[in-house]
Amino acid sequence: MNVLVTGGAGYIGSHTCKALHRAGHLPVTYDNLSSGHAHAVKWGPLVVGDIADTTLLAATLGAHDCQAIIHFAAHAYVGESVGDPLKYYANNVAGTIGMIEAARIAGVKRIVFSSTCAVFGIPGLALIDEHAERRPINPYGRSKLMVETILEDCWSAYGIASMALRYFNAAGADPDGELGEEHDPETHLIPLVLQSALDPARSISVFGTDYPTPDGTCIRDYVHVSDLADAHVLALDAIDRAPGFSACNLGTGRGVSISEVVAAASRLTNRKINVRHAPRRPGDPPELVADPSRAQTELGWSARRSDLDTILSDAWAWFKSQGADAKT
């Protein structure tokens, strides 16, 4: 089918476009390029536009005969959301309402939504399943939870079927070296660690070393971006099999600490990584690890490339391919 991918020029969106193409679908990227990259759009057409432009969105859906939408377009910096919540509610919530209205105009009845484990806040569970209480602690998480609620209501009211995919920590790069992580500013741990490996003058900040974890640093569930991309393709089929609204957590069920990531990156790159210890950041949970059982059952999905060494190796290869490492 032809699939509109909002935010398809971004990190996870572009990897998903490649996965759609590999599965025989045509991805139609719709992106305002505020944080995405036109050079990452390689497997279908690019329409430059904002999700607030309902008229252009509806026209794009019709012109390309799209039968489904995968919706990534959103602001995604937790700290920024705290300082400027209206920016997040305007884009992530109001913008999504416009996208759904465009779907109604064009008669599109299937939406896969890029959600986040931030909807859970600090759940205090060893493994977080879909029944865990959703109590987000920042405007970014609240904006995503609002969209989940809106989508659920739109199934009841308009018959628009949807699935929310709640990622844990996306990481890694395309195994073929065609795509990677290009955020500005970069806030994610693994690219920051690898950038520090590339440049001895840089250091990585570790926020908090006194958490109730084996080594005192936070534990997270890292998922390879290509595994996440595959889940979106599988979600399209799952919506067809069981129309309605549903949500799946995407993770590995295995946690890795920040100190373990740094040590593994140093071993894999054979580089010293400078670490600077800093105080805890408010609101950082000690541990966030997914229970991926529902995704395995409902999507037939598993995290095949999400062991830490593979994530680091793919990301390291991509960073070096960008000419960032003159010594290699």
DSSP code, position 188: -
pLDDT at 328 over 80: no
CA angle 93, 57, 228 (to 5 degrees): 65
Cα 72 to Cα 164: distance, rounded to the nearest angstrom: 11
- Residue with the larger pLDDT of the pair 63 and 322: 63
Cα 221 to Cα 287: distance, rounded to the nearest angstrom: 9
- Where are any strands of DSSP class E within the chain? 2-6, 26-31, 46-48, 68-71, 110-116, 161-167, 169-171, 203-207, 219-220, 222-224, 245-250, 256-257, 274-278, 287-288
Task: State how far the alpha carbon of 93 is from the alpha carbons of 132, 141, 142, 280, in Å.
Answer: 23, 11, 10, 30
Q: What is the pLDDT of residue 326?
A: 37
DSSP code, position 288: E
Nearest CA among 197, 215, 318 for reference residue 266: 197
Q: In b/e form, how buried is each residue of 3-20, taking b as 16+ CB within 10 angstroms?
A: bbbbbbbbbbbbbbbbbb
What's the pLDDT tens digit per position in 173-222?
A: 999 999 999 988 888 899 999 999 999 899 999 999 999 999 999 999 99
Q: What is the pLDDT of residue 323?
A: 65
Strands 161-167 and 245-250: parallel
What's the pLDDT tens digit per position in 225-280?
A: 999 999 999 999 999 999 999 999 999 999 999 999 999 999 999 999 999 999 98
- Say if pTM beats, i.e. exceeds, 0.85: yes
Start-to-end Cα distance in the chain: 42
Cα 274 to Cα 262: distance, rounded to the nearest angstrom: 9
pLDDT at 2 over 60: yes
Strands 256-257 and 219-220: antiparallel
Contact between 20 and 27 under an 8 Å Cβ cutoff? The reply is yes
Residues noted as catalytic: 140
Q: What is the pLDDT of residue 183?
A: 83
Q: What token pair was written down for 279?
A: 């105080």
Strands 161-167 and 110-116: parallel
CA angle 57, 75, 49 (to 5 degrees): 25
Q: What is the mean pLDDT of residues 11-38?
A: 97
Percent of the chain topping pLDDT 90: 89
- Where are any strands of DSSP class E within 139-243? 161-167, 169-171, 203-207, 219-220, 222-224
